[in-house]
Amino acid sequence: MNNQYGYMRVAAAVPRVHIADAYRNAEGALKIIEEAFSEGVEIVVMPELSLVGYTCGDMVLQKKLLSDSERALAWLMEQTADIPTIGIVGLPVVFADRLYNCAAVFGQGQLWGIVPKCYIPNYGEFSELRWWVSGYGIKDRTIRFAGQECPFGADLMFDKNGVEFGVEICEDMWVPVPPSSMQAVQGAKLLFNLSASPESVCKHDYLISLIAEQSSRTMAAYVYASSGHGESSSDLVFAGNAVIAELGRVLGVSERFVRNDRMVISDIDVEYISTRRTARNTFYYPDAPEMRVVEVDVDDILYQGDVRRHIEPLYFVPEKEAERDVHCREVFAIQSAGLAQRLEHTNCKTAVIGISGGLDSTLALLAVCDTFDLLGLDRKGIIGVTMPGFGTTGRTYQNALTMIKELGCTLREIPIREACEQHFKDIGLNADEMTVAYENSQARERTQILMDVANMCGGMVIGTGDMSELALGWATYNGDQMSMYGINASVPKTLVRSMVDWYAHKRAEGALREALLDVVATPVSPELLPAAEGGEIAQRTEDVVGPYELHDFFLYCALRRRYSPTKIAMLATMAFEGTYDKATIVKWLKVFFHRFFGQQFKRSAMPDGPKVGGVGLSPRGDLRMPSDAQERAWLAELDEVEAELNKL
């Protein structure tokens, strides 16, 4: 395992099989193991009965083939005596005069254990009881095989450098309670399946979903290899599926129906699997059978380079358009359902919302419109308030007016310049200095206006601030930080932008679409400082706190995955290669942690709001964090990363 970052590299391989020719199959397995080792793979699994061929039929009862497969395994172990990659191959094994369909786990010349198949199917094309006996009840046994004595039984798990893994065979995964489920609750974080599953129309998608589901339910990685090229096609066709899934997410799938060997490789985030299990206190099964754990003592495999898996730069925004479409619909539905419940509970028929022409207030306005439609309320009850101030530009102002009009809401315009100037005089503030008080007083003035308007009409102030701003504390305390319901509270900035863009293309037309698309293209800004010459926005948020796409990446990795600062920096460097270098990433990551720790007091007082995804900041739900927690240890670790960068 790459100990610095907590990954273990695994592979699912499908070599060509030669039916009933154990030696040629062993040669093919050797090539696979050698290639896997060259790629830094620590464990590689091959299909069910891969040393003899799944479609041998009655040939597996021949003494010749049984002895050949045993000697072929001995030869394979001898040839890999200097290779620390652990191999898992399938072969027939006779134990106590019974024939078992087994998986042999070996590495560096040592046979570490043999695991028999537990569930023997006897339906349709899977009539295996003719040959095989279930190994379900076998435990605490040893066997003399391939010139060595090793543990034998269905109660086996294996441990490599503190990472436990389990093995099951084909049908074992398809039963109500798979052996891998019991292995997982006993500590196995990697689950390997040797399979021989024939292809049929539409079966492939179901298989992938089953593998993903098992990896999710067991909170583990599931590595699956099924028979392919070379198996008999007398009645069945084997496509050669190699699949790797982790915590419900498919990391790799091989091409099917090809006429050559193939291998899918991925780095498994063992550290995150452990973290997820620790955080989920229901991950146990009190009656799980006790397992024997075999310590696998092989040399470490040191590999350099990036992590072998795709790192998404925008964790909160699905990469595929079809998935993004579903995602946006779901988020709107959750926001609307949450607000609808609150409006009904308070018997409120009016919503008051400040519309700046920026991303956050735009998304909030769209969600409120959906809510009123859901409740059958007239959109005229949505009061969109524009409050032009010192930094308001014509671009955002016009977009705000257009959206309120086109969506059929009620417009109120209440300028704040005179009120703020009077306030500056009252408190003795020199407005020419444009201090923090100069900016925040505008945000508080706007919040006061919204609250008072809501009181006048018996309405509810809908907050517009998003989760990214809450994480960074980029909100004025008792200003835009406060509302009666924060509808965007768990929507990160990258997703806000994606949702407004989605709405523009999928649900809007004409002037509304044009306004929404311009909102998406407008730089993020609180517009609290006077505009530049030509009326352009002078105050750009991302110039001050950093790019939101980075901060959303940091937010997900820190809160959802609980990664260390070093690991976050490494992954961000991979995800944003060509966009940000590591020095820039570390710079903004330090800003993230500094602001995240220092601004917790604002989140401790945040209003109610609906949780829409896997990350939330509510002090009543996802994040129970003291306001005086110290960021020193996190920043010190990043200082070390910076020091290493400076040496280069």
Active site residues: 48, 117, 170
- Which of 163, 160, 166 is closest to 295 using CA atoms? 160
Query: How would you classify the pairing of strands 410-413 and 292-295?
Result: unpaired
Count other C-beta atoms under 10 Å from residue 591's C-beta.
17
- Provide the residue type at 562 as one letter: R
* DSSP states along 46-71: --TTTTT-GGGGGGGG-HHHHHHHHH
Q: How far apart are CA 418 and CA 638, in angstroms?
A: 46
CA 501 – CA 489 distance, rounded (Å): 19
Alpha helices in 488-631 (DSSP H): 493-506, 510-521, 541-545, 548-555, 565-575, 582-598, 600-604
Residue 235 identity (one-letter amino acid): D
Quickly list DSSP for 148-166.
EEEEESTTEEEEETTEEEE
- The structure tokens listed for 298 are 């092989």
Q: Which position has the token pair 């990954």? A: 7
- For residue 463, which of 482, 444, 478 has the smallest C-alpha distance? 482
CA 425 to the chain's CA centroid: 52
**DSSP secondary structure of 377-439:** --GGGEEEEE---TT--HHHHHHHHHHHHHTT-EEEE---HHHHHHHHHHHT--GGG--HHHH
- The torsion defined by the Cα of 105, 111, 113 and 119, in degrees rounded to 10, comes to 50
Number of neighbours of residue 18 by Cβ within 10 angstroms: 16
Q: Which residues contact 74 (CB under 8 A, 6 or more apart)?
A: 146, 147
Separation CA 611–CA 634 (nearest Å): 27
